[in-house]
């Protein structure tokens, strides 16, 4: 099964992001927008795992959650991957710099590497994906709107838990199922 670890977003944050996506979607329909139920902050993508690994991963995440206190997360700004290009592949919302988030993600990387999950080679860049750009999209108006909202605040939430998700790929898009939740101390 395909799995990942993430922070599920609070409903008011999902509402704010959904409203922003509706405004963007009115400008361009040639982007695959993230659905409300798919909004989360990925901390670690595990990929395909065998079911016999589930308990080991859950045990590891339980230990990690005990070592980390809840913290506040501020969503702010817009951007693209790759950055600064006229033809981006991903549109995203930023996360204000947060040491507690970085330490939590780093701890997840380190402890899961002991279970055989390779650490990510790229530096962790916390963001929330809004949409993935389809090939050949005309993005002038979208890019102008993203730039206009480059410093916009999209809200704040208290992170009280991490979630171990299963991702089920379907023709209509990925569906996410929470396998377990782990309260932060």
* Residues noted as catalytic: 40, 127
Give residues with Cβ within 8 angstroms of 96, minimum separation 6: 73, 74, 75, 76
Q: Can the peptide bond before residue 16 be classed as cis, meaning omega within 30 degrees of 0? A: no
Residue 112: helix, strand or coil by DSSP?
Answer: helix
Tokens describing residue 96: 């204000």
Give residues with Cβ within 8 angstroms of 175, minimum separation 6: 37, 167, 168
Q: Is 19 left (phi over 0), alpha (psi -120 to 50) or beta?
A: alpha
Work out the widest C-alpha separation in the chain, in whole angstroms.
48
How far apart are the C-alpha atoms of 91 and 129, rounded to whole Å?
6
């Amino acid at each position: 099964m395909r799995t990942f670890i993430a922070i599920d977003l609070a409903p008011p944050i999902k509402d704010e992001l959904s409203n922003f996506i509706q405004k963007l979607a009115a400008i361009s329909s040639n982007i695959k927008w993230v659905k409300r139920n798919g909004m989360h902050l990925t901390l670690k993508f595990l990929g395909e795992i065998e079911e016999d690994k589930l308990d080991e991963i859950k045990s590891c995440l339980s230990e990690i959650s005990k070592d980390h206190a809840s913290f506040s997360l501020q969503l702010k700004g817009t951007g693209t991957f790759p950055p600064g290009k006229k033809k981006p592949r991903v549109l995203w919302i930023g996360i204000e710099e947060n040491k507690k988030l970085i330490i939590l993600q780093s701890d997840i990387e380190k402890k899961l590497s002991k279970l055989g999950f390779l650490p990510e080679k790229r530096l962790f860049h916390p963001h929330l994906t809004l949409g993935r750009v389809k090939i050949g999209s005309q993005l002038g108006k979208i890019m102008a709107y993203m730039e206009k909202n480059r410093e916009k605040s999209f809200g704040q939430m208290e992170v009280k838990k991490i979630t171990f998700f299963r991702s089920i790929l379907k023709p209509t898009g990925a569906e996410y199922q929470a396998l377990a939740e782990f309260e932060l101390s």
